[in-house]
Structure 1
Amino acid sequence: MAETGEASQSAGNAPSGAAALARGGRTNFAGFLLRLAARFPFLVLGARLYGAEDLGRFAYATMVVEFAAQLTTLGLKRGLSGEMARSGRPEAHVVADALALALLLGLAATLLLIALPVLMFPDGIRHAAEPLLALVVLAILLSDVCLAALAFRHRIGVAVQARSVIEPWVLTLVGTGLAFTFLKPGGLLIAFAISLAAAAIASVAPAIRQFGVPRGWRLSASRLWAMGVRNLPLAGADLVDWATRRLDIFVLGRFAGPEVVGLYFVAQQVATLAGRIRMSFDPILAPMLSTALKAGRPDEAAAHVRQVGFWVLAFQIPVVLALGLPGEGVLGLFGPEFAAGALVLALLLTAELAAANGSVAEMALIYARPKLNLAVAVGGLALQAVLSLVLVPLHGGAGAAAALLVALLAAAIARQILLRRALGASVTFWRWSLLAAGALAFGYGYAARALPELWQMLATIPGVLILFGLVMWRWGFGPEDRALFGRR
């Protein structure tokens, strides 16, 4: 197709960083597959062994803990790359500042949640130890900051090991094991805490080996304050983006019972499997964009956005079709009652495609125009909140998913327009080959819906992935695109 030639032509002018993007993308995509291999069994076993009500309670409590961690990270998951790129101080000292800032704020949030456990458990405390779940905030902060620092050095494999191997497999194995003990009532929460503690250990140890002990470092309130102020726009954008992806659970938790939240949570987690393809490129893309923009090379940054955006869509579209077309069967794996969420799953998977467009553009916008990016994020969250309050009481989980889809789509369009103006270069990564391959795969999958449920899944999931992949490999990928697969 025409865009293959264009891709090849642009490849010749592509920055040398494309090879680093490909290496980082391969590493993180492998991590996505490893995480999928562990996370999917956890969802199936958790739903089967604990039921929708316990799963819904787990979803709400962990959402609040992750919110506290997101708030107190203060944007450093992405902002630390900028701090390390601009600072003339030893990298170990910059990392120590980031850890000190995040942990001080995290300690305050932890104490608040322990004092007010109703924030995590709106239906009340069942066991005296449940408020201690708040301590997980500190483990998340340690892991996030250390992994962000290692990403600046392109040490992406550590994140894969900690977040895609250790964390999900510990969660799955511990959660499954506790389901057959007297600790079953709190088994999911205990497994969650242990898995994140293990991930924190796996993140901190390599960071110490990489950067060493920050000798000569002294705590400075003024330095921490300055770092916090610099990262406020990014922190706000991260927080709003996180809230956008959790507002649906919050509203459902207030307007519906734990069982409805549990049904929605399973559909959301299945859809998130597609979204994690997009997140696979974040650790390598953030430091490369911050470096290019700081050096005054906007064309290079735009090329990175176009390349990564295309890679993300080329992986995400077939996964969305493969999971969405046989949605009833996929959700039925978790139990017969979960199959009713097929419409919710379809809407959430479509929302992940909208999120892919917005998120890749945002990765550059947060460095080029952080305040404008924050304004877009706030506007998208406000739109989602209004739509959720209108649609959730009427349509339940489907209303929450529809509100999320509209908000993400509006924010994605706004971010791409703003980024194109900020960089003075095209940031469009959609190509006709994606639409053509997607249409063929959709037609095949839709025809397979005539089969019985089991045969439909067996035919649709591998068939859609293979058909889409063959079309893209033959007509959609240029030489630079194929670098992701180790070919030049």
Structure 2
Amino acid sequence: MSAAEPPAGPSAEETAALARGGRTSFFGFVLRLAARFPFLFIAGRLYGAEALGRFAYATMVVELVAMFATLGLKRGLAEDMARRPDHQTHSLYDAMLVSFLASLAGAALLIIIPDLVFPGAQITPLERLFPLIIPAIVASDISLAACAFRHDIGATVRARSLVEPWVLSIAALTLAFTILKPDGLIIAYLLSMVAAAAASLMPAWRSYGAPHGWRPHPGQLARLAKRNIALAGADIAEWGARRLDIFILGRFAPPEIVGIYYVAQQIASLPQRLKSSFDPILAPVLATNLAQGLTTKAAQHIRQVGFWVSAAQLGVVLALGMPGEAGMGLFGPIFAGGAIVLALLLLAELFAAQAAVAEAALVYVARGRNVSWSMAGIAIQIGLSLLLVPRYGGEGAAAALAASALILSVAKSRLLARLLGAPVAGWRWSLLIAAIPAFGLGLIVLRTPEPIQLTIGNFAILGTFAGLIWRFGFKGADRLLFARSLRGKSYPPETAPSP
């Protein structure tokens, strides 16, 4: 540790802040989980796999362009605000303006070429104008990033875990019984994104207020965009790696297969949301420490969050993956065939967790190399997908994603450890100690009827893992994640170093 770095006390305070932010966002994850399953059930049962596959492809394209349009500012805004502590409001409005202009350009492109969004189908007027939702998505992302910089994680929970998913589910259910049913999923998505944008802009306005004295300067806007190009590339690479499988599958398989894969992907992405629960608070903490040259503290926080994420994800992966056939069958008999896809995608999320946590720091200390590795991962995924998808369909797409995620996880963790001069891996042997008995119980659960698998079985597997990891894995600062009161506690940032 450098001489400039403070002792453990301040790090403990930051660890507590990470715990509070992660705990708040985890509550949001539970709420989002409660809304995501009803939507998948409604879409699968009332609209069918074909309509769901078409919806999945269209929203994938729109969200990809929205990701381009944010120009990396979902994470880069924290760094810009840290550089301009006296002009944070101006920083927010600079980011809003430059991303809004980029979103308009992206929307215009998709409107001109609608086949990019709805390939091989008759385009309705509503579908042609569907890309106009992109500015709302971008405005929501930038607003929530600004709120997170001031540790207002509740804004993200309300917008992303309450407003967006519940409006989507309720609207899809309502429209399924009207003459608008052919476009029901698309309309429901539009309504949910507009509602989420409103729920994001209001807290940002309350926190930062009007832009008094702010004037847009083309030079400043250009520098902001240029500074975040590498960060934007990292965001797009990470996001693209999670959507590229849908794109390739859609080119080789009919919409029904894409719809089944989409349902499996949505279930499998739930563990990934556990990691993203820490993103809003992790980015400001890392940006602040790295700006001050406190690399050892940054590595400590990476290890701590990495362990929290791995522990939470592994338990969820076991609970969702082992009774996967029964779970997929809830959305319709045709979806039960996606059980293997679900298992492979859950493994991919588990492999990707450490890479994603490491990237939270790499985007500040090695943007170029981080993007290079991300692009290499996408190249590996594309090569494996083109080899496996034509022969194995959805299973091939999921296997390609899992393999590329594992390679990236190892590469990015080692790169970050070398740059920070400290270990960053969140793996501990206690994870294996807790997983083996839970897996054994899962094998017993699979011998029971499906209703038992989806009720008692799920909770038994998760409860066994949680009890063991709490007993043998969570020590000292680890338990801050569940502490209701942190007053008077002085834990070091971590108490069990990773090998």
TM (normalized to structure 2)?
Answer: 0.94
Q: Is the 8 A contact 2:78 2:287 kept in 1?
A: yes
In 2, Cα distance between equivalents of 1:187 and 1:405: 33
Query: Which residues of structure 1 form unaligned runs of 5+?
Result: 1-9
State the partner residue of 2:476. 479
In 2, Cα distance between equivalents of 1:124 and 1:227: 39
Are 2:41 and 1:47 equivalent residues in the alignment?
no
Are 2:324 and 1:327 equivalent residues in the alignment?
yes
| Structure 1 residue 448 displacement after superposition | 1.7
| Structure 1 residue 272 displacement after superposition | 0.7
Q: Which digits, 9 at most, give the CA deviation of each residue in 1:128-171, with x for residues without a partner?
A: 21111101101101000010011110011001000000000000
State the partner residue of 2:165. 168
Q: Is the 8 A contact 2:25 2:278 kept in 1?
A: yes
State the partner residue of 1:345. 342
In 2, Cα distance between equivalents of 1:123 and 1:440: 49
State the partner residue of 1:36. 33
Q: Is the 8 A contact 2:114 2:123 kept in 1?
A: no
| Structure 1 residue 216 displacement after superposition | 1.4
Are 2:197 and 1:200 equivalent residues in the alignment?
yes
| Structure 1 residue 111 displacement after superposition | 1.0
State the partner residue of 2:407. 410
State the partner residue of 1:213. 210
In 2, Cα distance between equivalents of 1:126 and 1:42: 24
Which aligned pairs between 1:170-185 and structure 2 lie closer than 5 A?
170-185=167-182
In 1, Cα distance between equivalents of 2:221 and 2:413: 33
SS in 1 for 2:105: helix
Q: Is the 8 A contact 1:11 1:480 kept in 2?
A: no
Q: Is the 8 A contact 2:52 2:259 kept in 1?
A: yes
With 179-188 and 107-116 compared, the bigger mean Cα shift is at 107-116
State the partner residue of 1:304. 301
Given residue 21 of structure 1, which amino acid in structure 2 is its aligned partner?
A: L
| Structure 1 residue 245 displacement after superposition | 0.6
Q: Is the 8 A contact 2:354 2:425 kept in 1?
A: no
User: In structure 2, which of residues 456, 460, 471 is the aligned counterpart of residue 459 of structure 1?
Assistant: 456
Q: 1:88 to 1:288 in 2, by over 3 A?
A: closer
Q: Is the 8 A contact 1:325 1:460 kept in 2?
A: no
User: In structure 1, which of residues 183, 186, 196 is the aligned counterpart of residue 183 of structure 2?
Assistant: 186
Q: Is the 8 A contact 1:328 1:342 kept in 2?
A: yes
Q: Is the 8 A contact 1:66 1:137 kept in 2?
A: yes
Q: Which digits, 9 at most, give the CA deviation of each residue in 1:187-244, with x for residues without a partner?
A: 0000001101001011111111111111111111111110011001111111111111
State the partner residue of 1:427. 424
Q: Is the 8 A contact 1:158 1:206 kept in 2?
A: yes
| Structure 1 residue 460 displacement after superposition | 2.2
In 1, Cα distance between equivalents of 2:162 and 2:452: 31
Q: Which digits, 9 at most, give the CA deviation of each residue in 1:281-315, with x for residues without a partner?
A: 11100110010000110011011101111111111
| Structure 1 residue 41 displacement after superposition | 0.7
State the partner residue of 1:288. 285
Given residue 321 of structure 2, which amino acid in structure 1 is its aligned partner?
A: G
Q: Is the 8 A contact 2:54 2:118 kept in 1?
A: yes
Are 2:239 and 1:272 equivalent residues in the alignment?
no
In 2, Cα distance between equivalents of 1:422 and 1:11: 21
State the partner residue of 1:64. 61
Q: 1:474 to 1:12 in 2, by over 3 A?
A: farther
CA RMSD of aligned residues (A): 1.3
Q: Is the 8 A contact 1:147 1:158 kept in 2?
A: yes
State the partner residue of 2:492. none
Given residue 317 of structure 1, which amino acid in structure 2 is its aligned partner?
A: L
User: In structure 2, which of residues 388, 392, 400 is the aligned counterpart of residue 391 of structure 1?
Assistant: 388
In 1, Cα distance between equivalents of 2:453 and 2:102: 50
Q: 1:228 to 1:395 in 2, by over 3 A?
A: same
Q: Is the 8 A contact 1:271 1:352 kept in 2?
A: yes
Q: Is the 8 A contact 2:248 2:385 kept in 1?
A: yes
State the partner residue of 1:6. none
| Structure 1 residue 346 displacement after superposition | 0.3
Q: Is the 8 A contact 2:75 2:283 kept in 1?
A: yes
Q: Which digits, 9 at most, give the CA deviation of each residue in 1:435-457, with x for residues without a partner?
A: 11011101110122122222233
Are 2:358 and 1:361 equivalent residues in the alignment?
yes
State the partner residue of 2:20. 23
SS in 2 for 1:288: helix
In 2, Cα distance between equivalents of 1:33 and 1:458: 17
Given residue 432 of structure 1, which amino acid in structure 2 is its aligned partner?
A: W
State the partner residue of 1:263. 260
Q: Is the 8 A contact 2:417 2:424 kept in 1?
A: yes
SS in 1 for 2:475: coil
State the partner residue of 2:495. none
Query: Which residues of structure 2 form unaligned runs of 5+?
Result: 1-6, 490-499
Q: Is the 8 A contact 2:74 2:145 kept in 1?
A: yes
Q: 1:12 to 1:108 in 2, by over 3 A?
A: closer
State the partner residue of 1:7. none
In 2, Cα distance between equivalents of 1:232 and 1:205: 28
